[in-house]
């Protein structure tokens, strides 16, 4: 895809796209079209509406966004252009942004347009259409439109990287693949990458992480990425759950196993975010850890009732081998705090069905011990359509994780407060860090949607984390 901003000689054959924000914006649309005004019965600019017509010998696509559209609304509307109107765009595209469009709305539109090129048909004999040579004109009154286009390209590339990591099959996305992905990022960007194999992980005391990977023929990989800008004043630590496929272990899953390639949605989000931070050159110090394992079943698989160790020095009674994500996160959180001392610590994980039972597929469950961090993450998510909502982590819930034989157990085994007790388990391995947040993204990282016939990755977390980091950096620079 080749972008050109405000060309002196605009194309007369490219599909002209005019976004319209409700009836108040219809006057602007009328100024852009020579022909008689459209009847409101045909098009009124309502959210999720569109209308194609021919004007002055060229095709025009009107995108209805509704009054005061949110970021996600604009992104989705523009994503439909190439996802659902490919034939109309064969001669190129001309995006005609109204003067009322803000930089944020323009960014959302550009990102959405690029995301519309994504397809999950990776292994089909007939390959998905390529848009690599598509010419796109961007007409905008914004002074920084060139920078906005460049920024949107980088954000969209990160989101599509997260899409792929979740959508590709588990025989492709293995712990080794994630490690190689990280190493490749390190070669292309100023990111320092370390990968621990089984031997190294054992010497570092990552016992809970290794226990989960014991049943798989695929060696677990403990992945560490560090990006440090010379002007950084803020150190953020990210940990993403990287279970590349989850059978449930010996507590084998009885349903929904086909979707368990998505159990590394947290890893996909933090890896893609790290790529984006490096691509944008944000003035931040970022350390990212991805404990990558496959939770499989064989003679060496860890056992229910087994007592295992952990990096934090706490012994863990295994109640359920399908509560494996919190085990690898426990070692990831502990290692990050002890060895890197970040100012703030955030982990993302497709952790519990309980979070879906509480919020459905509308938002992530947010747990944190810091009010400012909680507000910041919620506000950032609202701004880009990646919502979260807080649940309590009162100490009363920690008692549910008490073990008779060990320091803590990995599952309370009761039909209530599953997401909360999982969060309390994780908190026990943060060494009392004063600014920690856990996002349970089980309901929002892999979903049914309009752009595929099956569930696909959403890249939840990438936009949220970027918005949060840039907001926090802005505060520290004041």
Residue 86's pLDDT band (cuts 50, 70, 90): confident
pLDDT tens column, 24-64: 556 666 666 656 567 777 888 899 999 998 887 889 999 99
Angle at which helices 462-477 and 371-384 cross, to 10°: 120
pTM of the model: 0.96
- 326 noted as active-site residue: yes
pLDDT tens column, 199-256: 999 999 999 999 999 999 999 999 999 999 999 999 999 999 999 999 999 999 988 8
Is 259 a residue whose pLDDT tops 60?
yes
Task: Give the residue among 363, 369, 385, 387 at the shortest CA–CA distance from 377.
Answer: 387
What is residue 29's predicted lDDT score, i.e. its pLDDT?
Answer: 62
| Catalytic-role residue among 261, 326, 409, 424 | 326
| Mean pLDDT score of the chain | 94
> How many C-beta atoms lie closer than 10 Å to residue 102's C-beta?
12
Residue 80's pLDDT band (cuts 50, 70, 90): very high
| Catalytic-role residue among 4, 58, 228, 253 | 253
CA 183 to chain centre: 20
What is residue 37's predicted lDDT score, i.e. its pLDDT?
Answer: 63
Contact 366, 374 (CB under 8 A): yes
What is residue 215's predicted lDDT score, i.e. its pLDDT?
Answer: 96
Residue 425's pLDDT band (cuts 50, 70, 90): very high
Is 422 a residue whose pLDDT tops 80?
yes
Q: Where are the alpha helices (DSSP H) in 341-451?
A: 353-359, 371-384, 395-398, 418-427
- 194 noted as active-site residue: no
Structure tokens at 30: 């009328």
What is residue 57's predicted lDDT score, i.e. its pLDDT?
Answer: 81
CB under 8 Å to 89, separation ≥6 — which residues? 14, 15, 81, 82, 134
Mean pLDDT in residue range 323-349: 98
Distance CA 151, CA 265 (A): 24
What is residue 41's predicted lDDT score, i.e. its pLDDT?
Answer: 77
């Amino acid at each position: 895809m080749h972008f050109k901003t405000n060309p002196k000689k605009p194309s007369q054959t490219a599909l002209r796209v005019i976004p319209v924000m409700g009836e108040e914006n219809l006057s602007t649309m009328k100024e852009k079209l020579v022909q008689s005004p459209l009847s409101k019965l045909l098009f009124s600019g309502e959210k999720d509406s569109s209308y194609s017509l021919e004007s002055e010998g060229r095709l025009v696509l009107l995108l209805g966004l509704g009054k005061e559209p949110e970021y996600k609304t604009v992104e989705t509307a523009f994503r439909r252009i190439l996802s659902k109107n490919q034939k109309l765009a064969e001669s190129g595209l001309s995006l005609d942004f109204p003067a009322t469009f803000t930089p944020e709305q323009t960014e959302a539109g550009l990102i959405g347009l690029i995301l519309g090129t994504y397809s999950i048909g990776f292994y089909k004999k007939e390959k998905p259409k390529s848009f690599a040579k598509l010419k796109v004109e961007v007409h905008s009154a914004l002074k920084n439109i060139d920078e906005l286009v460049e920024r949107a390209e980088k954000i969209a590339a990160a989101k599509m990287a997260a899409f792929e990591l979740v959508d590709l099959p588990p025989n492709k996305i293995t712990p080794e693949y994630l490690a190689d992905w990280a190493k490749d990022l390190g070669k292309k960007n100023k990111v320092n990458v370390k990968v621990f194999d089984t031997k190294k992980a054992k010497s570092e005391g990552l016992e809970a992480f290794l226990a989960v990977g014991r049943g798989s023929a695929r060696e677990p990989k403990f992945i560490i990425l560090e990006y440090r800008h010379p002007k950084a004043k803020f150190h953020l630590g990210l940990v993403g759950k990287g279970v590349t496929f989850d059978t449930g272990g010996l507590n084998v899953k009885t349903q929904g196993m086909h979707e368990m390639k998505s159990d590394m949605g947290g890893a996909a989000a933090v890896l893609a975010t790290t790529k984006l931070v490096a691509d944008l050159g944000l003035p931040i110090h970022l350390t990212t850890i991805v404990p990558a394992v496959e939770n499989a079943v064989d003679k060496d698989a860890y056992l229910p009732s087994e007592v295992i160790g952990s990096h934090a020095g706490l012994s863990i009674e295994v109640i359920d081998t399908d509560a494996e994500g919190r085990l690898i996160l426990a070692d990831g959180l502990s290692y990050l705090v002890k060895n890197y001392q970040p100012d703030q610590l955030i982990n993302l994980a497709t952790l519990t069905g309980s979070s879906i039972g509480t919020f459905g597929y509308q938002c992530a469950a947010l747990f944190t011990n810091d009010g400012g961090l909680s507000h910041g993450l919620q506000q950032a998510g609202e701004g880009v359509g990646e919502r979260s909502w807080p649940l309590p982590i009162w100490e009363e819930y920690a008692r549910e994780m008490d073990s008779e034989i060990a320091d803590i157990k990995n599952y309370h085994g009761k039909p209530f407060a599953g997401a909360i007790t999982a969060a309390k388990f994780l908190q026990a391995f943060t060494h009392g860090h004063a600014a920690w947040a856990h996002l349970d993204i089980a309901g929002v990282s892999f979903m049914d949607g309009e752009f595929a016939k099956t569930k696909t990755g959403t890249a939840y977390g990438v936009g949220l984390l970027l918005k949060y980091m840039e907001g926090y950096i802005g505060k520290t620079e004041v």
